[in-house]
């Protein structure tokens, strides 16, 4: 199967994430999109996050109505912080029958050379780059056979915006899957 790997902290997952993954299922040759909940993003070492199990639970709740979108705790058992190249290699080793494509935003693509072993990622795996406001997608000709620029809708909702909105007492229901909104409300998350 062709599997899109959408990795993130998902703190919390929101409708923008689901819209993007649904676009990938409907408009590309991906059979599934796996949401890999990152226990620790190497670029967010000093940022406080909700517990990984709570973030995973919200992803599971959000994706329950979408059979081709899967919540994954795969990175939980890998050394921290989790570097994408290591995660992709571990996935390929565990699931040799699948073809993995990394899904990243244009902002991450523009800083991709700062990642750990970016050349190795490009040599071994395909990438899909989705548009972000304020970030151009420029793909050098030498990697166009490995990197695809998506024409997906630009949904500029961020988890930071949602967390800050909840802290400020705003109703963020419209930006979250209803199951996630209910979970956050019941547990009183992001209020401190």
pLDDT at 80: 85
pLDDT at 173: 97
pLDDT at 44: 57
Spatial separation of the C-alpha atoms in residues 111 and 35, rounded to whole Å:
21
3-class SS of residue 87? helix
In the chain (192 residues long), the average pLDDT of successive 10-residue segments reads 97 97 98 94 68 97 98 94 93 98 96 95 97 92 95 93 96 97 96 82
pTM, rounded to two decimals: 0.94
Q: Are 29 and 56 in contact (CB under 8 A)?
A: no
């Amino acid at each position: 199967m062709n599997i899109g790997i959408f990795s993130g902290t998902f703190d919390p997952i929101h409708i923008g994430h689901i819209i993007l993954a649904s676009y990938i299922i409907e408009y590309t040759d991906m059979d599934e999109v796996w949401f890999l909940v990152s226990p620790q993003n190497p670029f967010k070492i000093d940022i406080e996050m909700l517990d990984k199990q709570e973030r995973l639970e919200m992803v599971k709740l959000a994706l329950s109505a979408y059979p081709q979108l899967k919540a994954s705790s795969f990175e939980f058992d890998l050394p921290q912080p989790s570097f994408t190249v290591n995660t992709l290699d571990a996935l390929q080793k565990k699931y040799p029958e699948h073809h993995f494509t990394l899904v990243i935003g244009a902002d991450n693509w523009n800083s991709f050379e700062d990642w750990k072993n970016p050349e190795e990622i490009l040599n071994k795996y395909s990438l899909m780059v989705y548009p972000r406001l304020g970030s151009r997608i420029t793909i050098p000709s030498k990697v166009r056979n490995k990197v695809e620029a998506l024409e997906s809708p630009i949904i500029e909702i961020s988890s930071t915006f949602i967390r800050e909105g909840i802290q400020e007492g705003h109703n963020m229901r419209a930006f979250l899957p209803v199951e996630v909104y209910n979970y956050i409300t019941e547990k009183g998350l992001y209020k401190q």
